[in-house]
A and B are shown apart, each in its own frame.
Chain A
Amino acid sequence: MATTTITKTEKLVGKRIRRREDPRLITGTATYVDDIKMPGMLYAAILRSPHAAAKIRSIDISKAKALKGVHAVFVGEDTKDAGAVPCAASLPGLRVPHHNVLAIDRVYLVGHPVAVVVATDRYIARDGAELIEVDYEVESAVADPEKALAPGAHAVHPQWPDNVAFNFHQEGGDVAKAFAEADVIVKQRIVSQRLIPNSMETRGVVADWRAADRTMNLYTSTQAPHLVRSLVAQILGLEENRFRVVAPEVGGGFGAKIQTYAEEILLAWISMKLQKPVKWIESRRENFTCTIHGRGHVDFYEIAAKRDGTILGIKLKLIQDLGAYFTILTPGIPTLSVLMMPGLYRTPNISADIVGAFTNCSPTDAYRGAGRPEATHGIERMVDMLAAELKMDPAEIRLKNFVRNEEFPFPTATGLVYDTGDYSAPLKKAMDMADYDKLRKEQAEARKQGRYMGIGLCAYGEICAFGPSPATPAGGWESATVKIEPSGQVTVLTGISPHGQGEETTFAQITGDELGVGIDDVLVLHGDTSMVPYGIGTFGSRSTAVGGTALYYALQDLKAKVKKFGAMLLESEDVTLAGGKCTDNKTGKSVGFKEIAAAAYRAMKLPPNTEPGLVATHFWEPSNFTFPFGAHLVVTEVNGETGDVAIKRYIAVDDCGNILNPLIVDGQVHGGVAQGIGQALWEQAVYDDNGQLVTGEFMDYTMPRAHMMPWIESAHTVTPTPVNPLGVKGVGEAGTIGASPAVVNSVVDALSTLGVKHLDMPLTPEKLWKLISAGRQA
């Protein structure tokens, strides 16, 4: 039993406090979706298309239906009334494919759901799926976005033979003039390859329909339970107030669990049909093929500059591989890349054109960073190439072009307003930590010995804390309720839906400090739509900056009420609330938190115009995004005999504003960097020309493992944002955004002696070995 420590004086915010959520996770007693078991629960297995493009001639489900233990088999025709998978993003002229929860007459990607078998256990359900016979008329497919846009390509959707989902143009300043006046123009095609998010827990759903109450209980591994509730209730025509979505323990998301997926709709529909609870757990193979992918850009950059390195303008033509259909944000993601294309630089003139291309592949959507890693990779590669062209040091050209401290709030050519910053500080700090000048000397020495040593820099900027509602597809505010219970203990209900980010701890820190109670007295609850106020969810580095701020303001409201009760009990009009008690400023007499709480609920007497109880709810709408920034410095050495990249040093200096819990912030940076290094060196979703996903299991898709990761030296500069009273900006995606350009710049620098100017990711040993071998022969 926890000790009661209602009163405390020690400040909690800023401390390395170990997490409140960990005891259940380290003892194996947490409840993830697959741990839920209900009386009479059935299991669903989904039969999916092995072809990327085919017409369905016929489906024979008779053998599956006859299998002992199989309760039902459904095909697309049966589920026509179950609606379509939703997309919330909108763009002018957008072509939105109708994606049924089960394919009806044709399939357009490998993994397209075709039929579902519901049985008494998961083995029988899978046996049943294997007994279904589907007669496909296989067509040619297109799995590459550039090929998809070429004349005569296979049409992913027959009604749109050019495979173009949308064209989008944005410009700011006068880019034609900038390029006309430039001393130097550098052009480069840059690919940000398709990646597979791969949270360690796959998706999973348990749907439990209670007909007598017209109530749906949907347990799903999601980052946005309220969004799932609103959308699935609407799609199935159910009452939203009787539709409960629970995100239980969620084993990672990385953006791939923001979406509302076909299976969430399908399972709810099945539970209503069969009047039974039904579970579906995604296999890893399904996760590879059917959960969203990330990135998938082919970018054509042009950067114009003066001889002294001043950047005048940037042009970008961006081909976005959208996949075969849209999930919640699919077409919106590349527009985020355009917003962030100036990076941290003063660049007054920009022009961008996006072409969204359909391919016979899994849809792309938000994967950690969502559009910003692509933008940062582009600008940071281009700045390095410009430096090389001008024979400038890559640090010098960055320092020359950074937005200056006195220019904030800084309006960008893409229409954003950067909140605050000191952009040179993290770069200088990283260079100090690395002893940059000494490193360059070591590099010169290594080159004399024929070694390929590289030093890579990246100065990244992010757009975080999503965000002002007018700039988001589904509202960008966040909610919080704080309750002081009659015992004095505190319950926080938040609309965000953390799944590893640690807000059960950081929100308890905020609450403890504001109310003056111990961290053990605070419980943070989330993820159950029947329990917490409507919320938006956890993504886009928004949870603390937006959700934490909603909590902060709810706490201010509650404190005012606590003071009223305190003043009443002290018979004073001038009291201070601090250290877990209310003190009369004149007499010095005080009354404790527990007594105040008891009095507020016992209500023998009430302060004037005051209701009993101690509860406050606040919905907070942010006025702007936040714009965290930082610099990463990476030292690599490429093995000339094997092509292996050894990361000798990895320095990450991040400025995420005020830091509530350094332990958790470091963890976020490390994990983010791992995903960024993964993209730079190893990870890639590979489809063959027939649209088969070749990297469809962990055997073929190279995930970063413990022995592949370098030691990360993490440091911070602190520039609090004025956008919220906590001064926090968000850090969930920082590492990923900074890492890929820093690593690639480092390897390009290492191989620049061979004439290498650019390399596309992933920098596999095979790719580098071939290049080095060819370079040596030349």
Chain B
Amino acid sequence: MTESITVNINGTTYSHDVEPRLLLIHYLREVVGLTGPHIGCETSLCGACTVELNGKAVKSCAVFAIQCDGAKILTIEGMAANGKLHKIQEAFWNEHGLQCGFCTPGMIMTTKQILDRNPNPTDQEIRHGLEGNLCRCTGYQHIVNAVKAAAKVAGA
């Protein structure tokens, strides 16, 4: 049994027949072929699969693909535009906000949410904003620096 869905992802419209139990993360990775969002836990606790769904950051392992019929989705692959990195991507690069890179797509999408809601967050607000995303490599310090650096660019 499948259901038909139509989704706009990173500006492109896709239509697919999907099983009702198919998770959004598997839809993105296996069906659409966007492997930027990663699977770190499948239990919505690590945030590696974070994408933007209708303007809000969600953990795509906790959403079914059929719930996204008609939705607008932004993944890490849609962040850079016209060959130019998004300022958050630049900031993660400049500040060494990543090591193994596995959590990074989720971190960047969550950072976008943090800054969309609060363009000038304090360190504490940044840390609370990031608490749904696990990173085992960085100790978070350079990620916090990256979020701050991105906020500064936005403010400039």
Q: Which of A672-706 contact B (CB under 8 A)?
A: 672-675, 697-699, 703-706
- Chain A, residues 694-730, CB within 8 Å of chain B (1/0): the string is 0001110001111101011000000000000000000
Q: Which of A1-44 contact B (CB under 8 A)?
A: 18-19, 21-32, 34-35
Question: Which of B41, B43, B101, B140 has a CB less than 8 Å from the CB of A500?
Answer: B101
Q: Are A670 and B141 in contact (CB under 8 A)?
A: yes
Q: Are A284 and B43 in contact (CB under 8 A)?
A: yes
Q: Looking at the assembled complex, report how far the CB atom of A621 sits from the nearest CB atom of chain B, in whole angstroms.
A: 29
Q: Which residues of A contact B152 (CB under 8 A)?
A: none
Q: Looking at the assembled complex, report how far the CB atom of A44 sits from the nearest CB atom of chain B, in whole angstroms.
A: 15
Q: Which residues of B contact A34 (CB under 8 A)?
A: 29, 35, 38-39
B60 at the interface (CB under 8 A from A): no
A343 at the interface (CB under 8 A from B): no
Q: Are A28 and B76 in contact (CB under 8 A)?
A: yes
Q: Are A707 and B35 in contact (CB under 8 A)?
A: no
Known: A18-B93, A123-B21, A201-B38. A501 touches B99 (CB 8 A): yes
Complex: how many Å from CA A138 to CA B42? Answer: 30
Stretch at the interface among A250-258, A467-475, A481-489: A250-258
B89 at the interface (CB under 8 A from A): yes
Q: Which residues of B contact A26 (CB under 8 A)?
A: 76, 85, 89, 92-93, 98, 101, 104, 108
A604 at the interface (CB under 8 A from B): no
Complex: how many Å from CA A322 to CA B108? Answer: 39
Complex: how many Å from CA A667 to CA B75? Answer: 26
Q: Which residues of B contact A199 (CB under 8 A)?
A: 100, 102, 136
Q: Which residues of A contact B135 (CB under 8 A)?
A: 200, 706
| Total number of A residues with any Cβ neighbor in B under 8 Å | 58
Q: Are B100 and A201 in contact (CB under 8 A)?
A: yes
A380 at the interface (CB under 8 A from B): no
Complex: how many Å from CA A704 to CA B130? Answer: 12
Known: A18-B93, A29-B36, A252-B102. A709 touches B139 (CB 8 A): yes
B80 at the interface (CB under 8 A from A): yes
Q: Are A664 and B96 in contact (CB under 8 A)?
A: yes
Question: Which of B76, B94, B134 has a CB less than 8 Å from the CB of A200?
Answer: B134
Complex: how many Å from CA A501 to CA B48? Answer: 19
Q: Are B101 and A251 in contact (CB under 8 A)?
A: yes
- Chain B, residues 118-152, CB within 8 Å of chain A (1/0): the string is 00000110111011011111111111100000000
CB nearest neighbor in B for A502: B99
Q: Which of B42-61 contact A (CB under 8 A)?
A: 42-43, 45-46, 48
Q: Are B142 and A697 in contact (CB under 8 A)?
A: no
Q: Are B40 and A27 in contact (CB under 8 A)?
A: no
Complex: how many Å from CA A284 to CA B46? Answer: 10
Known: A252-B102, A707-B127. A200 touches B96 (CB 8 A): no
Which residue among A122, A501, A674 has the maximum number of chain B CB atoms within 10 Å of its CB? A674
Q: Are B100 and A706 in contact (CB under 8 A)?
A: no
B3 at the interface (CB under 8 A from A): no
Q: Are A28 and B105 in contact (CB under 8 A)?
A: yes
Q: Are B141 and A712 in contact (CB under 8 A)?
A: yes
Complex: how many Å from CA A424 to CA B80? Answer: 49
Q: Looking at the assembled complex, report how far the CB atom of B121 sits from the nearest CB atom of chain A, in whole angstroms.
A: 12
Q: Are A201 and B40 in contact (CB under 8 A)?
A: yes
Known: A32-B102, A500-B101, A709-B140. A23 touches B93 (CB 8 A): yes
B73 at the interface (CB under 8 A from A): no
Complex: how many Å from CA A18 to CA B94? Answer: 6
Known: A27-B36, A28-B75, A706-B126. A667 touches B46 (CB 8 A): no
Q: Are B92 and A22 in contact (CB under 8 A)?
A: yes
Known: A26-B85, A671-B136. A18 touches B96 (CB 8 A): yes
Q: Which residues of A contact B68 (CB under 8 A)?
A: none
A444 at the interface (CB under 8 A from B): no
Q: Are B75 and A200 in contact (CB under 8 A)?
A: no
CB nearest neighbor in A for B123: A711
Q: Are B77 and A29 in contact (CB under 8 A)?
A: yes
Q: Looking at the assembled complex, report how far the CB atom of B13 sits from the nearest CB atom of chain A, in whole angstroms.
A: 20
Known: A26-B93, A27-B79, A711-B141. A198 touches B39 (CB 8 A): no
Question: Which of A27, A284, A502, A673 has a CB less than 8 Å from the CB of B139?
Answer: A673
Q: Looking at the assembled complex, report how far the CB atom of B92 sits from the nearest CB atom of chain A, in whole angstroms.
A: 5
A398 at the interface (CB under 8 A from B): no
Q: Looking at the assembled complex, report how far the CB atom of A334 sits from the nearest CB atom of chain B, in whole angstroms.
A: 24
Q: Are B138 and A251 in contact (CB under 8 A)?
A: no
B103 at the interface (CB under 8 A from A): yes
Q: Are B98 and A22 in contact (CB under 8 A)?
A: yes
Question: Which of A202, A283, A671, A705 has a CB less than 8 Å from the CB of B99?
Answer: A671
A249 at the interface (CB under 8 A from B): yes
Known: A123-B21, A697-B41, A699-B43. A200 touches B36 (CB 8 A): no
Q: Looking at the assembled complex, report how far the CB atom of B104 sits from the nearest CB atom of chain A, in whole angstroms.
A: 5
Q: Looking at the assembled complex, report how far the CB atom of B152 sits from the nearest CB atom of chain A, in whole angstroms.
A: 17
A513 at the interface (CB under 8 A from B): no
A663 at the interface (CB under 8 A from B): yes
Q: Are A27 and B100 in contact (CB under 8 A)?
A: no
Q: Which residues of B contact A675 (CB under 8 A)?
A: 136
Q: Looking at the assembled complex, report how far the CB atom of B156 sits from the nearest CB atom of chain A, in whole angstroms.
A: 19
Q: Which of A488-532 contact B (CB under 8 A)?
A: 499-502
Q: Which residues of A contact B140 (CB under 8 A)?
A: 670, 674, 704-706, 709
Which residue among A19, A22, A672 has the maximum number of chain B CB atoms within 10 Å of its CB? A22
Complex: how many Å from CA A199 to CA B137? Answer: 8
Q: Looking at the assembled complex, report how far the CB atom of B150 sits from the nearest CB atom of chain A, in whole angstroms.
A: 12
Q: Which residues of B contact A697 (CB under 8 A)?
A: 41, 43, 45
Q: Are B98 and A25 in contact (CB under 8 A)?
A: yes
Q: Are B139 and A28 in contact (CB under 8 A)?
A: no
B116 at the interface (CB under 8 A from A): no
A666 at the interface (CB under 8 A from B): yes
Q: Looking at the assembled complex, report how far the CB atom of A637 sits from the nearest CB atom of chain B, in whole angstroms.
A: 17
B34 at the interface (CB under 8 A from A): yes
Q: Which residues of B contact A35 (CB under 8 A)?
A: 29, 35
Complex: how many Å from CA A501 to CA B138? Answer: 11
Complex: how many Å from CA A673 to CA B139? Answer: 7
B19 at the interface (CB under 8 A from A): yes
CB nearest neighbor in A for B39: A34
Q: Looking at the assembled complex, report how far the CB atom of B26 sits from the nearest CB atom of chain A, in whole angstroms.
A: 8
Complex: how many Å from CA A26 to CA B126? Answer: 19
Complex: how many Å from CA A155 to CA B136? Answer: 36
Q: Which residues of B contact A666 (CB under 8 A)?
A: 96, 142
Complex: how many Å from CA A190 to CA B136? Answer: 26
Complex: how many Å from CA A238 to CA B42? Answer: 36
Given contacts A26-B104, A34-B38, A284-B41, 7 further A-B contacts (CB under 8 A): A24-B101, A202-B40, A252-B102, A281-B39, A699-B43, A705-B130, A707-B124
Mind listing 8 A-B residue pairs with CB under 8 Å?
A28-B75, A31-B35, A32-B35, A667-B99, A675-B136, A697-B43, A705-B140, A711-B141
